[in-house]
Chain A
Amino acid sequence: MSARGFTMILAAILLFVSAASAAGRPSTHVSTRVSGITVYAAASLTDVFPKIDPGPRYSFGASSTLAAQITQGAPADVFASANTTIPAQLFAGGLVQKPVVFTRNRLVLVVPTSNPAGIHSVYDLRKPGVKLVIAAPAVPVGNYTLQVLRQMGLTSVLSNVVSRESDVRSVLSKVALGEADAGFVYSTDAKTVPGKVKVIKIPAWAQPKVTYAMAVLSSSDNKAAARRFMNEVVGKAGQKKLRAAGFVPIPGASPGS
């Protein structure tokens, strides 16, 4: 290889490296930015986490899918799940450090604004031919959905299920598009498509305990930054953003404290 060619390649590499590091450098204007870490988070946190901190690289998906990826050695630093059981399992397996509960949510039934199947309560799901979309049972929201149906004695409506989606946002989009007649999602998801869906509340006595927990990965190279990110989420500003998005504060965290 000629000396000139070598110099050019070297220059290109240097340019690339400096551009990449510049992109990764936190902006000095925002003091609460944690960068250089990867956060694996439940699909229902898609909109709110980047608002709490735009710094980290995010990967959103079904908590169960993310957990499977972590089990397979995915290079994440923080894992935030839409339940407490999956982080507890990973903790038991030594894959993450002790999980921390950071917010709660409510399950709701959503129907398209046009409401083609005329559904006005959860009990209307029993109507024959209703196209109900739920999440797969391994996905937290799918599990919560089964809990609600069992609690309300409505497991027969499972025969109206036309698809078991891979995460909560896929359920939401099938309903928002009008392809499905109804679907179970978190109340915070319903808020992200205003005007597209109508929300039907689930009776309080049938409401499952939707609790989110997060943890630092044991394999993280940047545990300090990962913990800083978690502190942001449980901190005042983070909790305020979560409340604004419709999440329910964890017991003990009084509003504004």
Chain B
Amino acid sequence: MRRALLALLYFLGAAVTMAFLALPLLAIFVHVSPGRLVDQLSNPVVTDALIVSLKTTLIAQALILLFGTPTAYLLASRRFPGRNACVTLVELPLVLPPAVAGIGLLAAFGRFGLLGSTLRLAGITLPFTQAAVTIAVAFVASPLYIRQAIAAFEAIDPDLVAASRTLGAGPARTFFRIVLPMARGGLAAGEALAFARGLGEFGATIMFAGSLEHVTQTLPLAIYAEFEVNFNVTLAISALLVLISAALLLSLKLTFLWQPSEQTSRSRFALSSWS
């Protein structure tokens, strides 16, 4: 009797949660007919924003991979004083309100920011440029990748790395032939999450980069700008973003379903090791 009641409570909790999460997403698609949604996608506001979003997010992802990977490897493989502080620092943007990130970026890279005069000497002004959008995206999205990458690198059996070294492989060869291939699942997972987060970036961008069609207006900014102009366009962009995000998440899961574990690491898809 008691067990049945408990099961019912679990079921109710799950049903409420699922309905709560699914309803807003479904509503986006129900509100306007699919034909009309597709029509709106050819609206120049949408195509411009899509191009700006893809360009800035892709560049930001390249930077995150380039700088984040060595950072994560260092933090995963070395133990040094201040390591915890470093880990906390790279994770901080994850929990920071994006508006705070925007203010911070302005205070650092704005014309009158900490580095403003230095940048001006170099002939660079960042605010209101696509570079500013890219920086904002990189700032808020990098923790998702680095966190995941640290977990992926930490999951590699150190004996394997040691064996590679004793067998004569140099540190670079060991990194590229042993460490990277073994961590690639976790790295891809982190990268996908960072990509999705970057695509959705709003607060820091609107404060640091402003919003100008064709230049700095990303998909989320276009949703905000079109909300009061044409609600159907905002629905179309929202639907597009829901589909992209779902596709990212699904492809990630399918990749891991199709690839049976062929490595010693316990968690390649280390999403569960987040807490």
Contact = CB atoms under 8 A, between A and B. Distances in A.
Given A162-B128, A163-B128, A179-B128, A174 B228 contact: no
Interface stretch (B32-40, B166-174, B208-216): B208-216
A88 interface: no
Interface stretch (A17-25, A39-47, A64-72): A64-72
Nearest to B208: A179
A131 interface: yes
Given A163-B210, A163-B211, A164-B211, A178 B112 contact: yes
Interface string A69-107: 000100000000000000000000000000000000000
A161 B212 contact: yes
B228 A65 contact: yes
Contact of B228 (A64, A131, A163, A177): A64
A164 B213 contact: yes
A121 B110 CA distance: 25
Where chain B touches its partner, the secondary structure class is: loop
Nearest to A71: B231
Interface string A134-156: 00101100000000000000000
A28 B138 CA distance: 53
Contact of A165 (B210, B215, B231): B210
A165 B215 CA distance: 13
B196 interface: no
Interface residues of B, number: 21
Contact of A162 (B210, B225, B227, B231): B210
Nearest to B227: A68
Interface centre among B112, B215, B216 (most CB of A within 10 A): B112
B198 interface: no
Contact of B212 (A116, A162, A179): A162
Contact of A131 (B128, B211, B227, B229): B128
A242 B213 CA distance: 35
Contacts of A179: 106, 110-112, 127-128
B148 to A, nearest CB: 33
Contacts of B213: 164
B206 interface: yes
A162 B217 CA distance: 11
Contacts of A64: 228-229
A174 B210 contact: yes
Interface of A: 62, 64-65, 67-68, 72, 116, 131, 133, 136, 138-139, 161-166, 174, 177-180
25 contacts: A64-B228, A64-B229, A65-B227, A65-B228, A67-B228, A68-B227, A68-B228, A68-B231, A131-B128, A136-B225, A138-B228, A162-B128, A162-B210, A162-B212, A163-B128, A164-B213, A164-B225, A166-B206, A166-B225, A177-B106, A177-B112, A178-B111, A179-B112, A179-B127, A180-B128
Given A67-B228, A163-B216, A178-B111, 7 more contacts: A62-B228, A65-B228, A138-B228, A162-B215, A178-B112, A179-B111, A180-B128
